[in-house]
Amino acid sequence: MSRYTRPLSVVIGVNGIGMGHSVRQSAIAQYLRDRGHQVRIVTNGSARVEYFRDLGFPAWDGWMPTLLARGDRIHASDAIGANIWQVPVGVTKHLRLRRIIRDTGIPDVFITDYEPNTPRLAYHFGKPLVSVDQQSKYRHLDLPTVGRYARTADEQRLRYFAPRLDRSFICSFVPLDADDRKLEFIAPVVPDVVRSAPVSPEPLATAYFSRYFDHGPEESVHALAEVFRQHFPGRTLRIYAQAAEARNLRQYANDKIDICTFDREAFITDMARSEAVFSNAGFNLISEAFVLGKPVHLIPLPTYDQHWCAKVVHEAELGTAAPRITHGAVLAFLNRSRELRNNVVRHRDQYLLADPREQIASYLESLPATSQRTLTPSTR
């Protein structure tokens, strides 16, 4: 812990939708643990709870309300209709979390990543609340609409989840700025396994496409496989998808086109040795590709977040973006892959090499000392 001598007790709240939030926060949690601090996790969904428990952290399940947008806003009538039958279970879960935190030790500080549980716990116990996420730029910056998508719904969600914050660390793979001393923009939190992966450009392209409600990967996989089959028969294309999707996608495979069930370790290895990456426009995947020096061709899912990420990447010439996979767009991207790769490497070396976890830890360790209950062993 360098000059810092008092171990902190930290509770981190993690949005359990998808893996991006869990990957980012697990890297922060492990870093804090390595500095001698005690870390516990609140997330939502049994799979995410087990993910953190497998990493050795006490972890518990909280309630994540459904707040879907209609148009560019979250409407109160929709929120009530979607959650009215979940409220009794949700309140029961939250009261249970209060008891668990009280019984296992009230922490010095709570961290939240786009979820509502740790803010309510921080307010209840009168402790500092710090956000570490990438979505908070939509709350604090007046970012423009992208096509038919606006930041309004994301801002509404963030204000509902955490009405008050003591500090906000906002991850970004491009430079951003704001005149607010409570905000600090940091490079994306990228796990050590990505930063240390052996990198080499081989005649391989790696792809990952996921599902968002009724927007599945089949159209993109079919179109991308067809482009490689017709125009790049000598290049290897490795397409990853979740297990439930991969079974139906294997019809598009051949001796040079592999359809793989998603495995994070294998995916990182393949991405590190690829000349290019194809994917939806998720923040974590883009950040990891850039740290590895890889350009991306992005097909954003129907959210403001994904369309904003795709737009910024395209405009910065760190990759390209298109509404769907087409022959022309893929050929144009691959024809520029060397130029784009050079752009990514320069950008990475200027903005993305610093490990932001040191900034986060230093801030937490600078907080005034508070009385702290001794932690007791947690039970699963």
Find residue 258's DSSP bridge partners: 238
More confident residue, 182 or 4: 182
Distance CA 106, CA 126 (A): 10
pLDDT tens track for 270-305: 999 999 999 999 999 999 999 999 999 999 999 999
Distance CA 330, CA 283 (A): 21
Greatest Cα pair distance in the chain: 67
Identity (one letter) of the amino acid at 198?
P
Residues 213 and 183 in one domain: no
pLDDT tens track for 4-23: 568 999 999 999 988 899 99
Residues 54 and 67 in one domain: yes
Q: Please indicate, yes or no, if residue 380 is contained in any of the structural domains.
A: no
Assign 344 a pLDDT band (cuts: 50, 70, 90).
Answer: very high
Work out whether strand 167-171 and strand 129-133 pair parallel, antiparallel, or are unpaired.
parallel
The per-residue pLDDT for 214 is 86
Reported as type and span, the H/E element at residue 156 is helix 152-161
Residues 140 and 207 in one domain: no
Q: Please indicate, yes or no, if residue 222 is contained in any of the structural domains.
A: yes
Residues 143 and 184 in one domain: yes
Q: In this model, does residue 351 exceed pLDDT 70?
A: yes
If you average pLDDT over residues 317-343, what whole number do you get?
97
Residues 198 and 148 in one domain: no
Q: Please indicate, yes or no, if residue 173 is contained in any of the structural domains.
A: yes
Residues 46 and 130 in one domain: yes
Residues 322 and 360 in one domain: no
Q: Please indicate, yes or no, if residue 329 is contained in any of the structural domains.
A: yes
- Hey, is 211 helix, strand or coil? coil
Q: In this model, does residue 251 exceed pLDDT 60?
A: yes
The per-residue pLDDT for 3 is 52
pLDDT tens track for 81-114: 999 999 999 999 999 999 999 999 999 999 999 9
If you average pLDDT over residues 9-38, what whole number do you get?
96
Assign 32 a pLDDT band (cuts: 50, 70, 90).
Answer: very high
Q: Please indicate, yes or no, if residue 3 is contained in any of the structural domains.
A: no
Structural domain tally of the chain? 2
State the CB neighbour count (10 A cutoff) for residue 247: 11
Q: Please indicate, yes or no, if residue 207 is contained in any of the structural domains.
A: yes
The per-residue pLDDT for 71 is 85
Range of 346's domain?
193-351
CATH number at residue 268: 3.40.50.2000
Residues 285 and 157 in one domain: no
Residues 85 and 168 in one domain: yes
Assign 201 a pLDDT band (cuts: 50, 70, 90).
Answer: confident
Q: Please indicate, yes or no, if residue 374 is contained in any of the structural domains.
A: no
Q: In this model, does residue 377 exceed pLDDT 90?
A: no
Reported as type and span, the H/E element at residue 308 is helix 304-315
The per-residue pLDDT for 4 is 52
Which stretches of the chain are assigned E, i.e. beta strand? 9-14, 38-43, 59-61, 109-113, 129-133, 167-171, 183-186, 204-208, 236-241, 257-261, 276-279, 296-298, 319-321
The per-residue pLDDT for 213 is 85
Residues 360 and 308 in one domain: no
Please state, for a pLDDT cut of 90, what percent of the chain lies above it: 88
Residues 99 and 35 in one domain: yes
Strands of the sheet with 38-43, listed across from one edge: 59-61, 38-43, 9-14, 109-113, 129-133, 167-171, 183-186
Distance CA 297, CA 314 (A): 9
The per-residue pLDDT for 5 is 61
Q: Please indicate, yes or no, if residue 379 is contained in any of the structural domains.
A: no
The per-residue pLDDT for 370 is 61
Work out whether strand 183-186 and strand 167-171 pair parallel, antiparallel, or are unpaired.
parallel
Residues 94 and 227 in one domain: no
- Reported pTM: 0.92
Phi, psi of 294 (to 5 degrees): -110, 130
